[in-house]
Amino acid sequence: RILVIATRNQGKTAEIRDILRDFPVEIKNLDDFGPIPEIEEDGETFDDNAYKKASFTARVLGFPALADDSGLVVAALDGRPGIHSARYGGAGITDRERCEKLLAELEGAANRKAAFECVISIAVPSGPALTYEGRCEGEIARSPDGVNGFGYDPVFYYPPMGKTFARLTREEKNRVSHRGKALMEVREEFDKILKW
């Protein structure tokens, strides 16, 4: 059985593969297929976008698809960048530059609270979808630290471990992250999902 992860983000793919690796499915992502139309992420919530990505991919490719829509919600920025996290600061800049932009916007801010949020949607070609959610609270660091992970990991400080996410191993991050928590629920229901 094939499960397509509806993403081209290698960081996400690696984390999802790790968590689902002992299940009897062959995991692919969009890079394993030829060109397919761009998915429009024009929803207003993580839920909307996760569902759009999963259902579109399942329909176009004809396999069950799992999509992750996630982002960083920063209290002092009224929840930004939120659903726009992937393109915060413009489409053409690097993850490192995005982190720098965030630090600049938060310069002098006393409230550094932030949370990563993740919604996972799993859809089959005939239509219906299941939804799972995860959240992880932390703080925006004063400067980037660490090289692991992707995206905002170098500036996301996780107090229970006293480190940024970019200083955790993939296994450590998966145990506590927004994505890890959502996928733990997926794991619990995987038998049901496989029978779909």
Q: Is 8 in the site for ligand ITT (CB under 6 A)?
A: yes
Q: Is 71 in the site for ligand ITT (CB under 6 A)?
A: yes
Q: Is 96 annotated as a binding residue?
A: no
Name the amino acid, one letter, at 176. V
Backbone angles phi, psi at 131, to 5 degrees: -125, 140
Q: Is 151 in the site for ligand ITT (CB under 6 A)?
A: yes
From residue 19, alpha-carbon distances to 9, 168, 177, 184, 195 in Å are 16, 16, 12, 8, 19
Residue 191 Cβ vs ligand ITT, minimum distance, rounded to whole Å: 25
Tell me the Cα Rg of the chain: 17
Q: Is 116 in the site for ligand ITT (CB under 6 A)?
A: yes
Instruction: Give me the catalytic one of 47, 68, 69, 95.
Output: 69
Q: Is 139 in the site for ligand ITT (CB under 6 A)?
A: no
Residue with the CB atom nearest ligand ITT in the bound state: 151
* Residues whose CB is less than 8 angstroms from the CB of residue 85 and which lie 6 or more positions away in sequence, other chains included: 70, 71, 72, 151, 152
In the residue annotation, 69 being an active-site residue is answered as yes
Alpha-carbon gap, residue 77 to 54, rounded angstroms: 29
Q: Is 13 in the site for ligand ITT (CB under 6 A)?
A: no
Q: Which residues lie near ligand ITT (CB under 6 A)?
A: 7-9, 12, 41, 68-72, 85-86, 116, 149-153, 165, 177, 179
